[in-house]
Amino acid sequence: MTRGASRRDSRGARGLEGRYFTSERVLEAERTTLFRSCWLYAGPARSLRRPGDITTLDHGAESALLIRGEDGVLRGFHNHCRHRGARLCDEDARSLESGRLRCPYHAWTYDLAGALIGAPNMTGVRGFDAAEWGLVPLDLGVWDGLVFLRFGDGAESLEELFAPLAGRFTAWRIPELEVARETTYDVRANWKLVFQNYSECYHCPALHPALNRLTPYRDSENDLEKGPILGGPMRLARAGGTMSADGRRVAPPLGDISGDDLDRVHYFTIFPSLFLSVHPDYVLLHGLTPLAPDRTLIRCQWLFHPDAIAAPGFDPAPAVDFWDLTNRQDWEICQRTQRGVASAAFSPGPYADLESVVAAFDRNYLAAMRRVDDPTADPPHSREADR
């Protein structure tokens, strides 16, 4: 564990070259590897509780369907019909009250387990067997009530990915939490710039004065500085407080948390699609989807315990408004950085030791990109890669 700013070490690293944030070829290489072989955040499992509940998740040309089956099992499938490939569902979330998913093109119909149960005018077609033409499954797993999926093959199981956080948040009972508010942002910046910005508080005194009052930027620890999960806790300046517009808790403490955790916020990045922010009274999730080299879709979800949500007078606005302000400050600086790194004159500067987690993100990213088997892709390189 790295405790306090004085123990951090960026190892003399410099940032990534500008093309990593601007190149279509780099983004395509990321899509064919990182976003196919890595686990991607899809949403809280409790948002798909009833049989027939369904949602979609898009990443580039890939699209996934998540469906809760009649047997209560949550499954993931590629979102296209097995007949001619038409997209089956464009809506974000809804419920299939009929228990059937029907293609709008030729009416091929699937049950909630993905089996083909209706194919008009296919009876008697030579060699056709409906049992062979169910929806194409994809890997799906649940960690602490959060759903992750994978579009392609990957060597790492979900349990292996989350091994560094195993049991860390059991006391919060995150699987019991529900989304009280959700906001989507379309940010004109590369997804890696957003990750890097979240990974350090060097910028907090200048950019986030309100946040810095609640959690002074040097009152932090980095538990993890290696691998796909990075981050650690920050201490709240006010005992019994939280991250909200007035610094006061919006709801009672979650689950069975006690001791120091009542006065800390835990911040972790889950490469390459999630920011996990665990507060004493709520959990904030940022799900990231790259849309273009200079454009990222970010979905923010505020999770509270259902008892708090149902309580008279419950209002998540102080937490939502605080983070909406903070988010917009971050998005603006990321967009400014996007414009700057596009300059032909840009040369990556050295990281401060306060940016040690950013340097760790770069190392993990470059290691993943070195696995790219694509002769058309720009070869990953930076000064950090030479260390």
Evaluated on CA atoms 8, 337, 368, 375, the torsion sign reads negative
State the average pLDDT over residues 267-294.
Answer: 98
- Say what percent of the chain tops pLDDT 90: 87
Q: How confident is the model at residue 209, as a pLDDT?
A: 94
Report pLDDT for 92: 67
**Of the given ranges (112-126, 157-171, 220-234, 288-302), which has the lowest mean pLDDT?**
220-234
Region 334-358 average pLDDT: 96
Confidence of residue 219 (pLDDT cuts 50, 70, 90): confident
Check pLDDT > 50 for residue 375: no
Amino acid at 263: D
Region 30-52 average pLDDT: 95
Q: How far apart are CA 28 and CA 375, in angstroms?
A: 12
The CATH number given to 48-141 is 2.102.10.10
Share of the chain above pLDDT 70, in %: 93
Distance between CA 292 and CA 327 in Å, rounded? 20
Confidence of residue 76 (pLDDT cuts 50, 70, 90): very high
Least confident of 5-9, 68-72, 77-81: 5-9
Report whether pLDDT(67) > 80.
yes
User: Is it the case that residue 356 has pLDDT exceeding 70?
Assistant: yes
Fold category of 2-38+157-386 in CATH? Naphthalene 1,2-dioxygenase Alpha Subunit; Chain A, domain 1 (3.90.380)
85-105 confidence digits (pLDDT tens): 999 998 765 778 789 999 999
Q: Pick from 296, 287, 290: which is nearest to 331 by CA?
A: 296
Task: Supply the pLDDT for residue 164.
Answer: 97
Annotated domain spans of the chain: 2-38+157-386, 48-141
Phi-psi region of 173 (alpha: psi -120 to 50; beta: other; left: phi over 0): left
Residue-wise pLDDT tens digits, 320-336: 999 999 999 999 999 99
Predicted confidence (pLDDT) at residue 24 exceeds the cutoff of 60: yes
Tokens of 333: 């600086």
Per the DSSP assignment, residues forming a β-bridge with 53 are 95
Angle in degrees, CA 144, 325, 191, rounded to 5: 60
Helices in the chain by DSSP H: which ranges?
19-22, 24-32, 34-37, 158-161, 191-198, 204-207, 209-214, 306-310, 317-341, 356-369
Instruction: Find the helix packing angle between 191-198 and 356-369, rounded to 10°.
Output: 150
